[in-house]
Amino acid sequence: MTDAAEPTRTNFIRQIVEADLAAGTHDRVVTRFPPEPNGYLHIGHAKSIALNFGLAESLGGQCNLRFDDTNPHKENVEFVEAIKTDVRWLGFEWGGQARFASDYFERLYGFAVELIEQGLAYVCELDAEQMREYRGTLTEPGRPSPWRDRTVAENLELFARMRAGEFPDGSRTLRARIDMAAPNINLRDPVLYRIKHGVIHHQTGDAWCLYPTYDFTHPLSDAIEGVTHSLCTLEFEDHRPLYDWCVEHVSVPSRPRQIEFSRLNLEYTVTSKRKLTELVAEGHVDGWDDPRMPTIAGLRRRGYTPAALREFCERIGVTKSENRVEMAMLESAIRDDLDAHAPRRMAVLRPLKVVLTNYPEDEVLNISAANHPKDESMGSREIPFGRELYIDRADFAEVPPKGFKRLVPGGEVRLRNAYVIRCDEVVKDAAGEVVELRASIDPATLGCKPEGRKVKGVIHWVAAAHAVAAEVRLYDRLFRVAMPGAEGQDYRDDINPDSLEVLVDCMLEPSLGGAQPGERFQFEREGYFVVDPDSTAQRPVFNRTVGLRDSWGKGNG
């Protein structure tokens, strides 16, 4: 996936792993990426994917893709397949087959039995509310469950009956027997198993009604797979003692090392799975792949490239310090990538017709234009030029503001790659709306500067007779503030009402008529755009990926 010529950028995790390899602690690095299949991956996951897969790949190791599928109420195959697609799209491949925590359910059950046999786990009958009450607080120790001292034989029998489905949901749990006075609340006899009836698991069907918790499943799955370094975000730092406790007290084949790093907090977004699910379910967006969503699928549909996302992850780095990343950094990464690789095209998003009165009616001139001004290897294309053109309404002003350098009555402007024209007449409808301009060309200015005068403005255009009609969707940031839902308010109140503008009468140069979904272009003077999957041969649809420059620093955010 990566270019071997690229310099390796280091971070504290890479230094730890390299030191372990140098010391002979491990002869090969094995990492894992363990998403729960209860939604689509988002930009925060991209950071974790780039770290886990990229680190293993660069050090000649292996990264496993393992689905943490222990909560089947919220999981399904759609999410499993979407996650696989996203990982591969980012440029990575996992070691062997995709794995599932459910692959290990029988072994995990056996590990739980081992804990019971050692007196380190017991069946508890406290309900969730009672358990919270017994757990204590940060300043007060917890109280032991009334069932904490059951015999090993009684716990084994009850645990087997839990598996057999004899008890209703919430009536029994299996808890670790650790320390109800531990300063770390995660060690105060955490739940290891809970009962969930009536669920058809996407991998195991109805074989189980007893499901292990994440804190039990995760470390033991890592150990089963021979993971050497388990890389987690900082919210799992307080769970590390429990991770180590689980691994230490059962007969797993290896001892992984958990290392935490800061999660990605990106401005103008939410990355909580709960909130993203609400945005989809409540219709604030048009699905998980809506181009305004911070999901990888949404970013892909928006026109982001795998290279840009990987570069963004490299730029923000891997640290232990929590921070909030500016959206401008993400947008800069895609601008830099598309500036280098996106072919240039002309597209008039808000058309205004211009009739060139001194140009022959039936004459079509094919003008050669470079596909990229800085990359000759991308070649050129022919653009037809005729008597009737479209320019953008924003490029004409009857009463121009100060500093306006585009077309005005009696004024001149250069058409990109073509002639200098002068606006001679403004045509309006009955309501006083400008509907057409009458202009004339200076025939001597095709590819040449006009004699004796300086024309400052250059605007884009499309020949009316050859234009391709298209829909263009102007996507912007989904939220109007950098920190949606700050200070306890509803994050939905911060949704940007102008996050999408749909233009249905856009006119594009003819070379864009055959563009395929996923192809990316720079619309000159407008921004970067991608062909949407909704496109048809009869009606192309383009999504704006990002503007040519950051405009949010000018009072928009």
Let me know: does 124 contact 149? Beta carbons within 8 Å. Answer: no
The Cα–Cα gap between 93 and 174 comes to 36
Q: What is the layout of strands, in order, in the sheet containing 30-33? A: 30-33, 62-67, 99-100
Nearest Cα neighbor of 506 from 354, 310, 285, 352 is: 352
Amino acid in position 328: A
Rounded to 5°, the CA angle 340-344-345 comes to 160
Handedness of CA 528, 41, 316, 487 (dihedral sign): positive
- Give the CA distances from residue 25 to residues 17, 20, 173, 227, 397, in Å, rounded to whole numbers and listed in that order: 10, 5, 37, 13, 71
Displacement of CA 416 from its chain's centroid (Å): 36
CA separation for the pair 424, 421 (Å, rounded): 9
Rounded Cα distance, 341 and 302, in Å: 16
**Options 107, 148, 273, 438, the catalytic residue:** 273
Measure CA 249 to chain center.
38
CA–CA distance from 340 to each of 32, 308, 336 (Å)? 33, 11, 6
- Active-site residue 361, yes or no? no
The CA–CA distances, whole Å, from 22 to 28, 142, 324 equal 10, 44, 34
Q: Is 263 a residue of the active site?
A: yes
Contact at 8 Å (CB) between 262 and 232? no
What SS3 state is found at 505? strand
Q: Which of 47, 177, 188, 263 is catalytic?
A: 263
Q: Which residue matches tokens 């292996």? A: 62
Select which of 36, 125, 388, 436 is catalytic: 36
Asked if residue 280 lies in contact with residue 271, where contact means CB atoms within 8 angstroms, the answer is no
Phi, psi of 494 (to 5 degrees): -100, 5
Dist CA 495 CA 479 (whole Å): 4
How far is the C-alpha of 236 from the C-alpha of 255, rounded, in Å?
Answer: 17
Q: Catalytic: 36?
A: yes
Q: H helices within 303-441, ranges in order?
A: 306-316, 327-341
Active site residues: 36, 263, 273
